[in-house]
Structures are given as C-alpha cells and as structure tokens.
Chain A
Amino acid sequence: MTTRRVVARAPQDTPAGLWTYLLLAVSMLFAAFPLYWMFVIATSDDEALAKLPPAVIPGDRFLTNVEEVFSLQDVYFAASLINSVIVSVVVTASVLFFCSLAGFAFAKLRFRGSRALMLFVVLTLTVPNQLGIVALYIVMGRLGWNGTLLAVIAPGLVTAFGVFYMRQFILNTVPDELIESARVDGATTMRVYATIVLPAIRPALAVLGLLTFVATWNDFQWPLITLSGTDYPTSMVAVSDLASGNYVIYRRVLAGAFIATVPLLVMLFIGGRQIVRGIMEGAVKS
C-alpha cells in the first residue's frame, strides 16, 4: 500500500499484475469448489463422507448413485426433470413473446396512458411477490390448480422485469425510421413486430431467455408449497425430497443435485457471455 505508484491510466486500461491473477484464481476456486465437490460425493460411496482429510478425488460410482436416485419410488426424479423442463421452457418462451410485445408497445407505439402504465410496471418491479404467497395459494386453490404444473407456470408467464428490459432495449436499438418506412408500406403493428423488431432484439431475447430459464429452473419456495407431496414435483422439490427422512444418504442427494445443476452449467458454458452482458447492462440502466 505504501508503494506510491502513480498510475495515469484508468484501472480498466491497466494490465493486470500477478497479484490480480492470483487473487482472481482464489475467487474462482472459492466459486467452483462446492460444485466440484458435489460431483466428488456424487461419484463416491458412503465412506467418502467419513474421511479426514476430506475426499477430493471423484470416485467411480456415479452411475450407481444416479441409478439409485432414479429408482427411488416416492421421489419421482425422472418425472421431476421433465416437469422442470416443461415449466422452464414454457415460462421462458412466454416471457420472451409477451415481454417483447409489451416492450415494443411501450417503446415505440403511441397510446393514451402509456407513460402512467409504464410507471406502474416499474413500480411492480419493487414489490417482492413472495408477500402475497398465502393468498396466491388460496387463489390457486379456487382455480383447482394447486398441485399441478399450471400453478407454477401461470404466475411467471410475463414479468415486469422482462417488459422493462425489453422496452429499454427496443428504445435504444430499433430505429424509428425503419418502423416508419414499414408503416408507409402499409405494415400492421404485428407485421412491424415480426419483421423489424424481432430480428433487431435477438441479443436481448437471448439474455432475457437465459436469465428467465435459470430463475425458473431454480425456483424453490413456491413449487415446494404448491407441488410438494404430489406426483408432479419440479426437480428442485425432488432434490429436497431426496434429503428428507431420518437417514439421509448424501451421495444420492448430491448425485440428484448434480444432475439438476448440469443443465444450468451447460447454459452458462454456452451462453455465459450473454448472461454476463445481461447482468452488466441491467446494472448501468437501473
């Protein structure tokens, strides 16, 4: 700290030194180790958990453990994975469609009350939706949806964040002239949406899609309330079921947890760049 090196450059233009890389590597290790260790236990036998120093090398029992997880009678693990895929895909597709539609309307169309309505959308962003959870359960009960995937899917179909995000993106990237010239040619609003807006917002769709998928897949509290004890759990509920009971077998729990995490790791690997950008863009705008 006492070395008074005068740096005339902004930090982002300063090449990282050895210490920076070293500290970053340590943070990386901290971030990745629990995941790695989840895999270690998922591939081991029961004894791996009763070792000191702890086991850090994967074993060879991954398939055995996975088989056990899938064959547990009252956990419905295979079905839960399918349920999670259904819920996440439907919610993501719907969020992308309805949010981009609404975002387009708010960004580029003129209609009475649009400002006030947009303000309302932004305000709803700040209300933690967990707070109405008791009443939501009663509403779902009236609809007869508790215990079905509908109860998990329906509340997530359009999000305030999605509308807000899409509006910002469309406002900044879709040129008015392009829309106007299509109008002159007689294009309807939906046609403008399909031919001009949609192609222009593909990057934003990727970002919002990834963020929505991850959040939906990982959701736990509401699915637990409405789905637990039924034959239709999501994978998160199923993993928590693996860990309930008097005698918990952790190699099974972590094998299940690992399987339920893999899709997201694949997504991060493929779409990491987009997710990073989405989070960073959101920060600058808010």
Chain B
Amino acid sequence: MSSTRAAPPRRPPAPQGGSAGDRRMTWRDRLYRFDMRYMPYLMIAPFFLLFLVFGLFPLLFNAVVSLRNYRLDDPTLPYWAGLENFSRLIADEDFWNALYNTFGIFLLSTVPQLLLALLVASLLNRKLRAQTWWRVGVLLPYVTPIVASTMVFSVFFSRDFGMANWVLGLLGIGGADDPIDWRAGKLQAWIAIATMVNWKWIGYNALLYLAAMQSIPRDVYEAAAIDGAGQWKQLWRITVPMIQPVVLFTVILSTIGGLQLFTEPMLFDPNAQAATGGPDGEWQTIAQLIYKVGWKDLNLGYAAAMSWALFLIILIVAGLNYLLTNRLSGGRR
C-alpha cells in the first residue's frame, strides 16, 4: 500500500530552437508547469466537490436541521427547537420499537447469513467443473433488485396459499388448518424479512470469503493434513482463523447495511405507502421510521435527529462487533 511513486521527470519538452520558437517555448513551459503542478488537483477535484456538496455538507447540515423546527407542513414554528427533537426521541415509543425491530431482524439475518456464506464458500473452494458458472450463479440474488425480490417473498410469505406455509406444512409445521400469519407478530415478520436479507447477501459474502480462502498459503494445509486434521477440522481450525480479516469486514458491512434496512420492511407491508411496518409497527425499522417521520409526517427536524441517533448506534455496534469478532476468532489460535 505504499504510495511513494517515482517522480515524473522534471525535464521540459525538447525546445524547438529559433527566435520564433522562444515565445512558443515559454507558452509550452507554462503549460507544462500547469500540467505538473495543478493538473492532479483538477483531476481529483470532481470527487471532492461532489462529496462536499452532496455528502459532507448534508451530513453536517443534518446536525443543524436536527436542532430546528423543520416541518414541511408548518413553517410558522420558531426557527430553533434546541434539543427538543432529541428529548422527544428518548420518550418516543415508536423509536424504541423500531430500534428493537431493527436489532431483531439484524441478528436473524447477519448470523445465519455469514455462516451459510462460509459454507457456500467452502463448497466453492474446491476444484470444480464449470467453476465460473457456479460463482456467477451464487450472484443471482446480488444483482436482483431488492424491490423485485421483496415482491416475490411478500407473496411467498402470504398467510393463505403462500409457498412458505405450504413447504412448512409438508414438514408438519403449521399447515393449511393452522397457517402461520407472517404479518401478525414480531417474530414471524422478522424471520420473513431476515430470509429476504439472507437470500440477497449469502452469495456475495461467499465470494468475499472464497477470495480470502484462496489466498491462504497451500503449505498450511499440507502441514495440517500431516498432523491428521480432517476436512471439517481444517475448515474451522485453519480456514476460518486465516480469513479473519475478511470475516471482520463482512461483519462490519452487514452491520452498516443491516441497521439501515429499508426496502424489505417497506415493501413487505401490503400498505407500503404508510411506512408503518405492519398495523402495529411489528417490523418497522429505524430507516423506515425516519422515512415516515420525514416524508409522511413531514417533520424533517425530528427525522434529522433520528438520523443522528442511527449514526451513533451504527458506530457503537460496528465498534462492538469489531472487538467481539476480533476476540472470538483471535482467541482460537
């Protein structure tokens, strides 16, 4: 990752000679100097400009908005709200409910997702026929729009005639006489939504793990095999600890993504436009609540305060995950 590069040669272009060429040379000299000195800044400027306007500024301005009365339907309120939005947040049952849902869905999706990804990766980490096609195949969910797949899963998880209940019925769970109503309780709804998240991301994470697995030096396995470690043992004792940095990376990624979950809970609701996440907020997530407060209740100031809370929560959870994953997989070796 060293970024010291060889300096570009300082030599100006070959002079043309002659008196007429002198003026041209100074013009070229200037061009050359501009090119060397300022061109790099010009090349990186678009990123920084755009990030400033549409990334950094909104993030900071969000703080200002969160301290204001910013209601789209009532501009007559006093300009500043002080910490009112935040004190309201702490007493807001909807917020704590959404936080609870977000974490429930997050746990039900992250843990199975990463374990199954590990399994798929170890399957892919073999000498396979048509290797590329297997790898491309696991990416089908990754390229599918979440909007589209959520519509399908919404039908899968309908109470009557749903595929999920039919399959469970075959296994002796629920069945036609006593079908599971996936939208009637927290746990059912969380499981349904977590299934969608898992479906979407298992393949992607599997490829991340696969890449890391293939960069493990081969002689490590040879040594282990000589020591008599079987395949299963090799997976848990060698492969997993060796790919720990990537595991950490995927844990952080799915934390950031999972805590911002929006599309699945939105469209799982037959009455999506209300953004309530079920009649009693059974599966309303924080991102969804922010949307509802901001664009249905038209209270942008309060929505901004919630965004800050979410930001804080993500930071804390990502940090905790980092420590936890580090300890868990580090302690094994």
Contacts and interface: CB of A to CB of B under 8 A. Distances in A.
Interface size class of B (residues with CB under 8 A): 35 or more
Contact of B128 (A16, A38, A127, A282): A16
B311 A261 contact: no
Nearest to A186: B13
Interface stretch (B73-81, B181-189, B302-310): B302-310
Interface stretch (B87-95, B105-113, B152-160, B325-333): B152-160
Contacts of A14: 126-127
A221 B234 CA distance: 42
Given A183-B9, A248-B270, A1 B144 contact: no
12 contacts: A9-B222, A34-B153, A49-B161, A131-B311, A132-B58, A134-B294, A135-B58, A135-B65, A155-B55, A244-B271, A273-B132, A276-B207
A264 B222 contact: no
B300 interface: yes
Nearest to B232: A1
Interface string B216-246: 1010111001101011101000010000001
B140 to A, nearest CB: 5
A27 B138 CA distance: 8
Contacts of B176: 52
Contacts of B13: 186
A235 to B, nearest CB: 8
Residue with the greatest number of chain B CB neighbours at <10 A, chosen from A133, A268, A272: A133
Interface size class of A (residues with CB under 8 A): 35 or more
B304 A134 contact: yes
Interface in A67-112: 98-99, 101-102, 104-111
Given A9-B218, A28-B137, A214-B142, 20 more contacts: A10-B216, A14-B127, A31-B202, A35-B144, A37-B156, A102-B47, A104-B43, A111-B40, A114-B3, A134-B65, A138-B58, A138-B65, A163-B44, A171-B3, A186-B13, A221-B262, A250-B155, A258-B148, A265-B140, A268-B143
B234 A261 contact: no
B190 interface: no
B218 A10 contact: yes
Interface string A19-46: 0110110011011101101100100000
A3 B47 CA distance: 56
A265 B143 contact: yes
Which 7 pairs from chain A and chain B are nearest by CB?
A132-B58, A272-B136, A186-B13, A280-B211, A257-B148, A135-B58, A16-B126
A11 B239 contact: yes
Contact of A261 (B46, B148, B202, B230): B148
A27 B120 contact: yes
A69 to B, nearest CB: 13
B59 A131 contact: yes
